[in-house]
């Protein structure tokens, strides 16, 4: 890593020479379980990274044995003594975190090892790409506590579909890595996940940064949107804008001239 790692509450952030940020959950003694401080720290860090024009991609990972055990039990116990209004404010913070990650403009990759339970599965489903290990396992365990996967629900349902969600929201069954792959929680499984992540990053770095941001915005815009006049107009405007942009002109010129595109001078 070229940039010295920086520490925030429960997080470790490093940025390499390619402009890739590696953001690690860093509460290994608590299996990277969420509490209000970690959620606030994640929101603040993501908002800061969003403003970094030199950033090309974000990798979300974790220190220790597990990606994340979900909610911190001590935090959950304390919230059980709070009012509904206080619990609403707390839930809105987690919802803000999920939305901030889901709409992060640069490509995001989740590198998952060990367990990813509850809210952690929501974070993974908010990332563009998810790579796990053969030992990765997942669980939507909220109903075992008399709760429900509410704030993460929209993102998980979008990723795995309504039918699978009904089963796993209700049963809280453990989901192994192969099942997660078949359900679209994971895109790849690799015993050495960092190697797969690095290969994926190489693919991303070969592409136009603005084009990738626009493509990600396109995915979000088209999700559950009827193919009506407004969407047709949006897509037409998007490709027309890309074609005449400096980056689009460079990409097309590089293709016809049989050379690598120089994105650095066209951002």
At residue 264, the pLDDT reads 81
Question: Would you say the CATH fold of 208-266 matches that of 6-204?
Answer: no
Residue 2: what pLDDT? 45
The SS3 call for residue 185 is: coil
Alpha helices, DSSP H, located in the chain? 36-50, 73-79, 84-102, 119-126, 153-160, 162-171, 177-182, 193-205, 209-222, 229-244, 246-256
Q: Which helix (H) or strand (E) holds 22?
A: strand 20-25
Q: Which are the contacts of 244, defined by CB distance < 8 A and separation ≥ 6?
A: none
Pairing of strands 20-25, 108-112: unpaired
pTM of the predicted model as reported, rounded to 2 decimal places? 0.94
pLDDT in tens, 125-143: 999 999 999 999 999 999 9
pLDDT at 228: 97
pLDDT of residue 8: 75
**Residue 16 Cα to chain centre, angstroms:** 19
Tens place of pLDDT per residue across the chain (267 aa) = 445 455 578 999 999 999 999 999 999 999 999 999 999 999 999 999 999 999 999 999 999 999 999 999 889 889 889 999 999 999 999 999 999 999 999 999 999 999 999 999 999 999 999 999 999 999 999 999 999 999 999 999 999 999 999 999 999 999 999 999 999 999 999 999 999 999 999 999 999 999 999 999 999 999 989 999 999 999 999 999 999 999 999 999 999 999 999 988 765
| Residue whose entry in the numeric block shows the structure tokens 């999700």 | 223
Task: Classify domain 208-266 by CATH architecture.
Answer: Orthogonal Bundle (1.10)
* Residues 78-91: tens digit of each pLDDT: 988 999 999 999 99
Domain regions of the chain by residue span: 6-204, 208-266
Considering the domain 6-204 in this protein, what is its CATH number? 3.90.226.10
């Amino acid at each position: 890593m070229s940039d010295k790692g920086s520490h925030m509450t429960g997080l470790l952030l490093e940025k390499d020479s390619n402009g890739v940020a590696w953001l690690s959950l860093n509460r290994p003694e608590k299996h990277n379980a969420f509490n209000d401080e970690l959620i606030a720290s994640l929101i603040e860090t993501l908002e800061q990274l969003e403003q970094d024009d030199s950033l090309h991609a974000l990798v979300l990972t974790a220190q220790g044995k597990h990606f994340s055990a979900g909610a911190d039990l001590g935090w959950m116990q304390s919230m059980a003594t709070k009012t509904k209004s206080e619990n609403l404010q707390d839930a809105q913070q987690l919802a803000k975190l999920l939305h901030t990650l889901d709409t992060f403009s640069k490509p995001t990759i989740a590198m998952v090892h060990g367990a990813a339970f509850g809210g952690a599965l929501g974070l993974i489903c908010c990332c563009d790409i998810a790579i796990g290990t053969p030992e990765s396992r997942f669980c939507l365990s909220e109903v075992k506590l008399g709760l429900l996967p509410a704030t993460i629900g929209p993102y998980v349902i979008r990723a795995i579909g309504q039918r699978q969600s009904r089963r796993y929201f209700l049963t809280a069954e453990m989901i192994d890595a192969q099942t997660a792959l078949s359900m679209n929680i994971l895109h790849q499984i690799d015993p050495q996940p960092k190697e797969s992540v690095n290969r994926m990053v190489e693919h991303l770095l070969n592409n136009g940064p603005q084009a990738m941001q626009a493509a990600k915005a396109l995915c979000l815009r088209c999700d559950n949107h009827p193919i009506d006049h407004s969407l047709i107009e949006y897509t037409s405007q998007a490709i027309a804008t890309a074609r005449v942009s400096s980056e689009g002109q460079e990409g097309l010129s590089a293709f016809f001239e049989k050379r690598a595109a120089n994105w650095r001078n066209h951002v």
